[in-house]
Chains A and B, each alone.
Chain A
Amino acid sequence: MNSWNRLMHSSALTWALGYVLLGLAALAAFAVTLWYTWNVTIYAAREEFLLDDAQRLTAVFAREGVDGLAARINERVAMQIAGERALLLTDSQYHRLAGNLDAWPPHIPQPQGNHAVIANLPGHPAGMGLVPRTLPGGYHLLVGRDLALFLPLERRFAWGLTAAVTFLFAVGVAGALFMRRELLRRVQGIRTTAAAIMAGDLRRRLPAAGSGDELDTLSQTINGMLDHIERLIHGISDVSNSIAHDLRTPLAELRSRLEELTLTRPEPAETFGEIEAAVADLDRVMRIFAALLRLAELDTGARRSGFVQVDAARVAAEVVEFYEPAAEQKGVAFSFQSAGFAPVAGDPVLLAQALSNLIDNSLKCVPERGAIRVRVDKRDDGSVAIEVADNGPGIAAADRPKVTERFFRGDASRGTPGVGLGLSIVDAVAKLHGGVLELLDNHPGLRAQMVLPVTDGRSSR
């Protein structure tokens, strides 16, 4: 019962049955038309034959008189096979003169105009087509034909139709069952995989044969989605791990600092020093939080609502001006080049922050007397590249894809201040603006490039 229910609820079966029914309906319409046309044609041919015959016999009567006609009829009757044809000539009193009928049949309907009529005669169960004629002198002529002649034809026609319908139905149902099985098999595959993924095996993918049919395309789309989800989940767990690690360090320091205070109870001056250090530890935690929240905010894309037309060159010039004294203090050669007005759709403060992070990174890692060059270029396709190049240690090629990951810190940056979120924020800002962050080798040093798309930026929304 259960499997029957399932069968009836199978969408494939429903569809296939629907198609079969539709086919049957089409066939029925076709058959009815055919039947009608066939009938009309056969009937007309039959009638014409009878009318012709009646016409011919009437002509014989006109030419050769009643005896001549009787002779012709008798001749015909003698030649005739079985009782397929009916011929009868009577006088005005309906007394038989010639023919193969014993008597004028009673109840012959009066034909309407030049047409045949159909009547049942004894010994002719299928009925007869009859043409009665009244000849000059009151003689009566009856020409008829047994309709049983056509019965086999009709029967064959009906059989053919039944066979066609049965065949269609059988093929339809079999096809439906087959389609259902095929579909179920593939859907089952998808379900098994989905269940495995839900159970935690994120690496599983739906079977995609590459045949390019609808189910395959669907599987590929879902696989793409699964790839993305897997990346996100790994990203989240990486971030959680990193947060745990990066927050745990300052929190552990803080904890030991405070615990030590309660245990050793040092002089007030020392105590206050320790408390200040503890507040500094907390500030570091707060900065990490602020950066993470900023990243989360960037990732949602909510800031796009505040996009305006921004001159990237001007934003860059201001950030460069902001950092100039700091670079000067460190003895770093700091230069800025721009090709003039460089319009992008964006958030000026976020762009400034991204550039500030890049300059900040460079300032931290270039050696004394190093050089940092900031450049804003308009490319031929209308996109704008904001570039910060330095001659510091750079980023190892192997590390480059990883540096935009949250909390990643290259070996070179160990021991420098920072929480490892700077480039993540630059990357997120670039992405928010529909652009990319590219990290290139400056031989030596790093060339970090934010490429922002053409000014309307709507393509990325």
Chain B
Amino acid sequence: MKILLVEDNERVARFVTKGLREAGHTVEHADNGRDGLFLAASEPHDVIVMDRMLPGNIDGLGIIEALRKAGNRTPILILSALDAVDERIKGLRSGGDDYLTKPFAFGELLARVDALGRRSSGSDAGRTLQVGDLRMDLLSRRVTRGGRAITLQPREFKLLEYLMRHANQVVTRTMLLEAVWEYNFDPQTNVVDVHISKLRQKLELDSERPLVRTVRNAGYMLSDHE
């Protein structure tokens, strides 16, 4: 994917650029608001990663608003040291698609960038999701693997749906909390892990190939590859 990073902190920018490039993305970097707006407006990107506080007369939210007003729909991930719920809401209201608080684990950033990029490609419009031999019918809410029907609780269904929509991508625990339970706090116990392991028990019988992989220091990935 082609990613634009607008970030004035040199060290953070270098770290993020390097990480995204290693993950196979093309990265352009602007270190101030004016250049950021110029780059974002002049070239198409798959995802924009935007710091909120920027030098150059225009801050992150200002750029986002300007882009949205000009009809630019590129998914934007906002980076910010401002953590208050109000700030988050303000960020998303200005036209941002996701909000990540600094400091962050790179895995979290990468997972969210991937999720945003995938969304923009708009791959799933159908009524069924399929990953390998796992099928989910969104209308009848039926899940099958091979020919075997899998019975899921509503919340498990939602969890699996999210994993399937982001198949072959890393999703972090925070992303799952936000998307599946709509909680923006961090439970101290490993509750999400337990939910995943319960889901795994239902998806993966002894003879079957594992579908949900744990990605160390990041989260989970539903994948049909080995």
State the A residues within 8 Å of B (CB): 276, 279, 282-283, 286-287, 290, 293-294, 297, 302-303, 306, 318, 321-323, 325-326, 329, 349, 352-353, 356-357, 360, 363-364, 417-418, 422
User: Once the chains are docked, how many angstroms separate the CA of A363 from the CA of B194?
Assistant: 14
State the B residues within 8 Å of A (CB): 83-86, 101, 103, 105, 155, 181-191, 194-195, 197-198, 217
B92 CB to nearest A CB, Å: 14
> Closest residue to B196 on the A side, CB-wise?
A325
Q: If A318-B181, A353-B183, A417-B188 touch, does A293 touch B194 (CB 8 Å cutoff)?
A: no
User: Once the chains are docked, how many angstroms separate the CA of A135 from the CA of B42?
Assistant: 129
Q: If A297-B84, A318-B181 touch, does A422 touch B194 (CB 8 Å cutoff)?
A: no
Q: Is the CB of A306 within 8 A of B181?
A: no
User: Once the chains are docked, how many angstroms separate the CA of A456 from the CA of B145?
Assistant: 49
Residue among B85, B86, B101, B191 making CB contact with A322, cutoff 8 Å? B191
A112 CB to nearest B CB, Å: 92
Residue among A303, A318, A349 making CB contact with B185, cutoff 8 Å? A349
Residue among B183, B190, B217 making CB contact with A276, cutoff 8 Å? B217
Residue among B86, B103, B155, B191 making CB contact with A326, cutoff 8 Å? B191
Main secondary structure on chain B at its contact with chain A?
loop
Residue among B184, B188, B194, B197 making CB contact with A349, cutoff 8 Å? B184
Which chain A residues border B187 with CB–CB below 8 Å? 322, 356, 360
Q: Is the CB of A321 within 8 A of B155?
A: yes
Q: Is the CB of A325 within 8 A of B191?
A: yes
Residue among A294, A349, A363 making CB contact with B189, cutoff 8 Å? A363
Which chain A residues border B217 with CB–CB below 8 Å? 276
Q: If A356-B187, A418-B188 touch, does A293 touch B83 (CB 8 Å cutoff)?
A: yes
User: Once the chains are docked, how many angstroms separate the CA of A322 from the CA of B198?
Assistant: 12
> Closest residue to B104 on the A side, CB-wise?
A286
Closest 8 CB pairs of A and B: A353-B185, A325-B194, A326-B194, A326-B191, A325-B198, A360-B188, A297-B84, A293-B83
B220 CB to nearest A CB, Å: 15
User: Once the chains are docked, how many angstroms separate the CA of A448 from the CA of B47?
Assistant: 46
Which chain B residues border A364 with CB–CB below 8 Å? 188-189
- 8 residue pairs from A and B, CB less than 8 Å apart: A282-B103, A286-B103, A290-B186, A306-B85, A322-B191, A325-B191, A325-B195, A422-B188
Which chain B residues border A417 with CB–CB below 8 Å? 188
> Closest residue to B154 on the A side, CB-wise?
A321
Q: Is the CB of B84 within 8 A of A349?
A: no
Which chain B residues border A279 with CB–CB below 8 Å? 105
Q: Is the CB of A360 within 8 A of B84?
A: no
User: Once the chains are docked, how many angstroms separate the CA of A364 from the CA of B188?
Assistant: 10
User: Once the chains are docked, how many angstroms separate the CA of A297 from the CA of B198?
Assistant: 35
Which chain B residues border A360 with CB–CB below 8 Å? 187-189
Contacts beyond the supplied A293-B83, A360-B188: 5 A-B pairs with Cβ under 8 Å? A297-B84, A325-B191, A352-B183, A356-B187, A364-B188
User: Once the chains are docked, how many angstroms separate the CA of A202 from the CA of B185?
Assistant: 37
User: Once the chains are docked, how many angstroms separate the CA of A323 from the CA of B84?
Assistant: 25
Q: Which one of B101, B191, B217 has the highest number of Cβ atoms from chain A below 10 Å of its Cβ?
A: B191
User: Once the chains are docked, how many angstroms separate the CA of A306 from the CA of B87?
Assistant: 13
Which chain B residues border A283 with CB–CB below 8 Å? 105
> Closest residue to B191 on the A side, CB-wise?
A326
User: Once the chains are docked, how many angstroms separate the CA of A323 from the CA of B155?
Assistant: 12
Which chain A residues border B181 with CB–CB below 8 Å? 318, 322
User: Once the chains are docked, how many angstroms separate the CA of A225 from the CA of B90?
Assistant: 35
